[in-house]
Amino acid sequence: MEIPDMSSKKLPCRPEMFDFEGISMTHFFTENWEKVRNFQSRPDDILIATYPKAGTTWVSYILDLLYFGNEDPECQTSKPIYMRIPFLESCFQEFSTVAGTEMADSLTTTPRLIKTHLPVQLVPKSFWDQNSRIVYVARNAKDNAVSYFHFDRMNMVQPEPGDWNHFLEKFMKGKNVFGPWYDHVSGWWEKKQTYSNLLYLFYEDLVEDTGREVERLCSFLGLSISIEEREKITKGVQFDTMKQNKMINHVTIPFMDFKISPFMRKAQSFRVGGVSTRNMAESMNAASVVDGKFVLKYFSCCINLHWLRSCYAAS
C-alpha cells in the first residue's frame, strides 16, 4: 500500500463529541463501526491497546522492531508506523479513503500488529474468540492528562480542548474521546484477570527500565533474542531517537499542527517531569481535592506503585 498523498487536503473543522455506547466519541471513530465490530481477528494477531497518549507509539515501535526490524529494515525508514500498525477504529475520510479496518486487512505481515484505543468492552469479539495476544499499556492519570491535553491542542481531528483548566475538568468527568481514563485502565486490568493472553504494561516501568520491559514482551510473546539485539532495540526506541524519526513522529500526518506542539513531547513520568508538567499535575491535585468522586476513582485505579507515589508527590 502506497503512502497516501494528503498534502493538498484542507484541515477539517474540529469534531464534536457525542455519546456512543456509553462513552464520548467523535465521528472519526464511529463512522466505520460495523466493520470495526465485525473485524475478523486471527490467532496470531497482536493487538496494542492503550488509552490515548499512554505509550501506544512507543510499544508499537518496540513490537515492530522485535518482529520486523531484521526481516524488513527498509520499511523502518520508508513507511510510516501508522501504515505498518493500523489504527483499527480510525476512519479519517477527509484525508484518506482507507479506514483502519481496511489497512489491517491488507497487511501481509505475520503477525499483524494492530493498535486500538477502545475500552475493553468495545473491542471486536473476534479478538477474544481467536485468543489473540493483546498488549495493554497504562499510564498514571496525571502524566496522561497533561500529554492528552497537548495532543488535543495540536491534533485538528480532536475536539477543541480549551485551556488546561477546562480540559482538566473534562478529563476528571471522563468527557474525553474514548471515555474516562479510570474506566479504561481498570476495565483492561479486570480483563487481565480472566484472559491469559493479555500482557498489562505500565508506562512508568518503560521509562524506568526499557530493556527489562522488552524482555517482558519477549517472554510473553515467546520470542528469543540475543543480548545484542535487545540492546539494539532498547537504544533504537529511546525517546530522543524516535522523536527524530520521521516514520515514527507522525510529521507525515497533515492534520497535526506541529507549530503548536510536537506529537512526541517528553517520555517522562511525573516523578521526573519538568516544571510545566509538575505545575499542571499540582493543579490536578488541587482540583481532585474538590472532586471527591475523582479521588476515589483515582485511588481505586492505583494498581501500580508508581501511581501511588504520584498521588502524594508535591513537586
Summarised one tens digit per residue, pLDDT across range 213-248 is 999 999 999 999 999 999 999 988 887 766 666 666
Q: Given this model, what pLDDT does residue 275 score?
A: 39
Q: CA–CA separation, 101 vs 37, rounded Å?
A: 10
> pTM for the full model?
0.84
DSSP output for 51-62: STTSSHHHHHHH
Contacts of 245 by beta carbon, 8 Å cutoff, 6+ apart: none
Domains of the chain, each with CATH number or no CATH: 18-312 (3.40.50.300)
pLDDT of residue 312: 47
pLDDT, position 160: 87
Residue ranges in 49-140 assigned as alpha helix (H) = 56-68, 75-78, 81-84, 100-106, 125-129
Q: Are 267 and 144 in contact (CB under 8 A)?
A: no
Q: Indicate if 166 belongs to the active site.
A: no
Where the chain has pLDDT below 50, the residues are 1-8, 263-265, 270-275, 287-291, 312-315
Catalytically annotated residue among 27, 117, 150, 166: 117
227: DSSP letter: H
Question: What is the pLDDT, as a whole number, of residue 290?
Answer: 41
User: How confident is the model at residue 11, as a pLDDT?
Assistant: 64
User: What's the pLDDT at 154?
Assistant: 79
pLDDT digits (tens, 9 = 90+) for 187-199: 999 999 999 999 9
Q: What is the pLDDT of residue 15?
A: 83
d(CA 314, CA 227): 39
